[in-house]
Chains A and B, each alone.
Chain A
Amino acid sequence: MAKIKVVEGVLKANDAIAESNARRLAEHGVRAFNLISSPGAGKTTLLEHTLEHYTRPRRNGANRFTSRASGWRIGVIEGDVATSRDAERIETFGVPVVQINTRGGCHLDANMVARALDELPLDELDALFIENVGNLVCPVGYQLGEEAVVAVLSIAEGQDKPAKYPALFRRAAVMVLNKLDLVPHCDVDVDALVEETRKVNAQLEIIHASCRTGDGLDAWYAWLDKRLGTREA
């Protein structure tokens, strides 16, 4: 009987591919955001608002998109267990989108994203949103090459989720607290939710929003502008 010391990280292979994805994105000047949430928390709707904001001229004719700083060119990778429904929703905005079906897999990994990057016109993009499979647990362990993890939490999920699933809320740079329009209908104490979240990650930026009404999304755009704007600052 021999005992052999190994000490090798289990996700080392994934992390290495994630680093290569990150290098590739950086070479093309693309900033990637990995969106993680439960199923139905509002990731796709948040993306739809984001695309509306950045890729479509405002109806009142305000000249918001002449400068590059506000007219970001966006690509999307949609991760789902099955169907291309989210990609179809995103395609209506005329932006490059790649659907990854994990066929039962509970998370996206760096290799899936590497293959999706092959299909995207990286030279023509400033930002890439990667919508992970809806799941508060498994996606957290897999780096994809993103510059930041965006957590989306809907208040209908209950105020205990950050405490119950701390790894995501530690890893995320920002949390969009969504569906605030449902507060009157849910037994949730938003202040307590924020307090519980702060205990897990005091540095986490928390954006209060409702993707249904559009309330609060200006703070999300401001956060994105800050992240995207730093490249040319």
Chain B
Amino acid sequence: MHELSIAEDLLEIVTRTAAEHNLTRVSGLRIVVGALGNVIPDALEFAFDVAGRGTVAEGARLEIVEVPVTVRCNACQAETVLNDFAFLCTECGSVDVTVLRGKELYLDSIEGD
């Protein structure tokens, strides 16, 4: 349910960006969410729908891009995209890995007129 706080933060960026670019209506948002971001897309859409009422982004469509977790092995440098949350290198089996991608949570772009 922290999606509501995330929606409010999103809305702050959206209204600020819209004002900077003289948009009177924002019809779409592209949001990038890592698998470790603990964000449920449906919950975020619902929260944004509620938070956005009466704003420049009322009724805007959310495109939520989910990024899987990618790790780099600190032993053999191989990169592995994780299908589950077993943090290990599929090349050499080492568990000494660094997360490269999967923690993202950002607004990529907006569309409007």
> A residues within 8 Å of B by Cβ?
1-11, 13-14, 105-107, 109, 137-138, 140-142, 163, 166-167, 170, 198-203
Contact = CB atoms under 8 A, between A and B. Distances in A.
A170 B2 contact: no
Given A6-B110, A10-B10, A141 B37 contact: yes
Contact of A202 (B1, B6, B87): B87
Interface string B86-113: 1110000001100100000111111111
Contacts of B36: 166-167, 170
Given A4-B21, A138-B1, A141-B37, A199 B111 contact: no
Contact of A2 (B37, B108, B113): B113
Interface centre among B36, B84, B111, B113 (most CB of A within 10 A): B36
Contacts of B12: 13
Given A3-B111, A4-B17, A8-B106, A138 B2 contact: yes
Given A10-B13, A141-B105, A4 B110 contact: yes
Contacts of A203: 96
Interface of B: 1-2, 5-6, 9-10, 12-13, 17, 21, 23, 27, 31, 36-39, 84-88, 95-96, 99, 105-113
Nearest to B97: A202
A163 B83 CA distance: 12
**Which A-B residue pairs are the 6 nearest by beta carbons?**
A202-B95, A138-B2, A166-B85, A199-B86, A167-B36, A9-B106
Contact of A6 (B2, B5, B27, B107): B107
Nearest to B112: A2
B4 to A, nearest CB: 9
A142 B37 CA distance: 10
A107 B111 CA distance: 31
Nearest to A136: B38
A94 B14 CA distance: 46
Contact of A10 (B88, B106, B113): B106
Contact of B111 (A1, A7, A202): A1
Contacts of B88: 199, 202
